[in-house]
């Protein structure tokens, strides 16, 4: 019997378009603090992506908060009491303490519900990368994977999701402490644009820098050309912070080179956007 519920968190930036025709994934909302004011990001939240970016600038004090234990208990127990099992695909532990909190709650619930299966997976993914991972899991749930089969697939495949981002500015990386102001000043003077990715531990890092925005976008396209395993899945996600025209251009360029690709444009939401700023442009695919 394939009777289990997949959960994820709002970090994944899931959209109805991406989820169309797939089983429902329950999304746990997350708190965003902007200049001391609390907002909730998620399906029933009080801030959406356009509003977030309209409020965001380099002087804005932005913080994200992990999902609290009570929220996990309430969400998971509502399913367990119905006699269903739980599979939670969680925001990478490399960028948040969310996974540790969720794992603790899952262990506690296993004692209370010994007849139920409760799995918590560290996705090692973030934003639209996490969305891609959840999308692939839901596809397999629809195909009839048992919860044990899907847990095994998730544990094996999570490092196969490629995340590549470029930014137009170092400002938010400086603010987040990822690079020094001196390095940022030199990079800005030389029109250097950082290229970012997520490593095997799910941590954000800067593997390369390019000269100018056009060059950084060209590098993203080259990554798709060389690393994308289209024989595994033809889905490619293009994400952006607040630059829809560039995202559309990226989609068109991918399709011109790879007409067999299924490309979906998505927003990079507040949980990651507060660290990258509004100029983020990303591609996600199987590698």
Q: What is the structure's pLDDT at 201?
A: 82
244 shares a domain with 138: no
Asked which of 159, 178, 200 is the last residue of a domain, the reply is 159
pLDDT of residue 59: 83
Residue 84 sits in which domain range? Answer: 4-159
- The mean pLDDT value of the chain amounts to 89
Asked if 130 and 50 sit in the same domain, the reply is yes
The pLDDT tens digits for 199-210 are: 888 887 776 677
Is residue 135 over pLDDT 60?
yes
pLDDT for 46 = 96
Tokens (6 digits) for 112: 């209370």
Residue 33 pLDDT > 90, yes or no? yes
Domain CATH number, residue 38? 3.40.50.10170
């Amino acid at each position: 019997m394939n009777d289990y519920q997949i959960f994820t968190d709002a970090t994944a930036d899931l959209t109805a378009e991406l989820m169309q025709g797939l089983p429902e994934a329950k999304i746990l909302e997350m708190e965003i603090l902007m200049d001391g004011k609390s907002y909730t990001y998620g399906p029933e939240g009080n801030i959406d992506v356009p509003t977030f970016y309209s409020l965001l600038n380099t002087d804005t004090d932005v913080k994200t908060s992990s999902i609290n234990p009570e929220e996990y208990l309430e969400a998971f127990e509502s399913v367990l009491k119905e006699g269903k099992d739980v599979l939670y695909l969680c925001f990478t532990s490399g960028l948040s303490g969310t996974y540790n909190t969720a794992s603790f709650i899952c262990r506690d619930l296993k004692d209370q519900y010994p007849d139920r299966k409760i799995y918590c997976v560290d996705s090692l993914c973030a934003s639209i990368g996490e969305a891609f991972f959840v999308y692939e899991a839901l596809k397999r749930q629809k195909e009839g994977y048992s919860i044990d089969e899907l847990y095994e697939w998730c544990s094996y495949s999570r490092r196969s999701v490629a995340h590549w981002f470029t930014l137009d500015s170092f400002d938010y990386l400086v603010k987040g402490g990822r690079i020094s102001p001196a390095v940022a000043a030199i990079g800005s003077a030389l029109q250097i644009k950082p290229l970012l990715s997520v490593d095997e531990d799910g941590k954000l890092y800067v593997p390369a820098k390019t000269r100018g925005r056009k060059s950084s976008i060209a590098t993203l396209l080259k990554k798709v050309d060389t690393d994308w395993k289209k024989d595994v899945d033809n889905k490619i996600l293009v994400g952006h912070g607040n630059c829809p025209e560039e995202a559309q251009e990226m989609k068109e360029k991918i399709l011109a080179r790879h007409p067999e690709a299924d490309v979906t444009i998505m927003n990079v939401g507040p949980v990651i956007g507060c660290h990258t700023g509004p100029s983020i442009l990303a591609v996600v695919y199987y590698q």
